[in-house]
Amino acid sequence: MPGSSSNNTSIFDVLILGAGAAGLTCARECAARGRRTLLIDHGDAPGNKIRISGGGKCNCTNTGVSASDYHCANPHFVKSALAQYTPHDFIDFMQRHSLPVRDMGQGMLFSDRAKDVAEALHREALSIGAEFSLGTEIRAAAKDGDGFRVDTDRGVFSGASLVLALGGPSWPQVGATGLGYALAERFGLRSTERRPGLVPLLAGPKLAPLCKEMTGASLPVRIAPDTGHYASEGSMLFTHRGVSGPAVLNASLFWREGQTLSIDLLPGVDVAQALEASPRMELKNVLGTLLPKRLAGWLCARYRWDGPAANLSKKRQAGMEAALHGFEFTPSGTAGYAKAEVTLGGVDTDRVSSKTMEAKKVPGLFCVGELLDVTGKLGGYNLQWAWSSGFAAGQWA
């Protein structure tokens, strides 16, 4: 490697641990400032999470991004980085590399091939002068005088700045681990509670048979916790183990163990009006025009809704409306990190500058991307945070 060496230690200006979205962006920016930059990752190819996101067609950004789209103990933390590198800046990157971006509505922009995005980021960083040590096991990282030392199975590297861009343990099938948190904590950075995010929810014993029977069926819903402070809207998909789909994945960001979720099975639908419009029709048939038929039949059997719509008393009609607009679902848990798209929680943002991503009490140490206690909703927000936070750190590392 061109980095100078001393006593078998390769010396750089910046060491970046982790070749994901944030690390690649940071490497490009550091190298563009003339900093001798080395990016170290255990994977053989950079951007593994990018490559598999969205089933290979990553939702790379969202043009409507705002601070309110993120879960973070400090709701203002993301504002500076998002302003420094916007979705339009990322679109410019895609255009530079002749990569198409498809608008799928609601501000969501997708790439045709996620692999192309990862490879373009890699090529651009290399072309500017960043160096890579891929397939390299990171064994330790520590302060070394005014700089930092990283021990690996390929030797020892030192740098004036160290960027932790190792992400979280979601997607362990591509080698993701919690190493970044362990390293951050060794430098005195506190982490908040971590758990799987944007993840399917499992059904408890009472509703497991329903979910198994309804596997593959989907419907638009609105999900809120019993506290009512947050809500998630979109499609819900029944699986053989519970529920998934965009509305559920977003609900996993605010659901906590033991909490009951309230699911509006007919958001925006006036049930009373639907019953009045078909007074002679059997209740299960009326509901079958509004819901998947199997679900309508199950609900009618569970709540003993039978007979023609006209025969339903006002009291029972009110009960039906309450059940349909506030169906109670108490998950038994989540599908875990193997099915989670992100990790909730992370390095406490109170310990990090929102402008530079630098640790306030450890000069030269930076944390970016998923490693921080910043989690976006489904829809391109998490990759945008990776680009933005990586860019911000790249201006200072």
Q: Report the pLDDT averaged over residues 250-258.
A: 95
Which pLDDT does position 228 carry in this prediction?
A: 66
For position 383, what pLDDT does the model report? 98
Burial of residue 344 (number of CB atoms within 10 Å: 0-12, 13-18, 19+): buried
Instruction: Provide the pLDDT for residue 8.
Output: 75
Specify the pLDDT at position 173: 87
Residues forming beta bridges with residue 157, ordered by sequence position: 10, 150
Q: What is the pLDDT of residues 339-356, one digit of tens each?
A: 999 999 999 999 999 999
Q: How would residue 38 be classed by pLDDT, with cut points 50, 70 and 90?
A: very high
Phi then psi for residue 213, to 5 deg, are -65, -35
- Mean pLDDT (whole number) for 110-115: 95
Q: How far apart are CA 86 and CA 90, in angstroms?
A: 7
Residue 100 has pLDDT above 90, yes or no: yes
Please state, as a whole number, how many other Cβ atoms lie within 10 Å of the Cβ of residue 140: 11
How far is the C-alpha of 237 from the C-alpha of 217, rounded, in Å? 6
Calculate the average pLDDT of the chain: 95
Confidence of residue 54 (pLDDT cuts 50, 70, 90): confident
Is the pLDDT assigned to residue 81 strictly greater than 80? yes
Q: What is the mean pLDDT of residues 276-305?
A: 96
Q: How far apart are CA 79 and CA 284, in angstroms?
A: 49
Model pLDDT, residue 5: 58
Structure tokens at 189: 């950075």
Residue 367's φ and ψ, nearest 5 degrees, are -125, 135
Lowest mean per-residue pLDDT among 177-186, 220-229, 247-256: 220-229
Question: Mean per-residue pLDDT for 295-320?
Answer: 95
Share of the chain above pLDDT 90, in %: 93
pLDDT tens digits, 186-224: 999 999 999 999 999 999 999 999 999 999 999 999 999
Quick: pLDDT tens for 354-369.
Answer: 999 999 999 999 999 9
Does the pLDDT value for residue 3 go beyond 70?
no
Check pLDDT > 60 for residue 104. Answer: yes
pLDDT at 94: 97
- pLDDT by residue (tens digit) across 116-125? 999 999 999 9
Q: Taking 60 as the threshold, does the pLDDT of residue 1 lie above it? A: no
Q: Is pLDDT of 4 > 90? A: no
Give pLDDT, residue 338: 94
Per-residue pLDDT for 157 more than 70?
A: yes
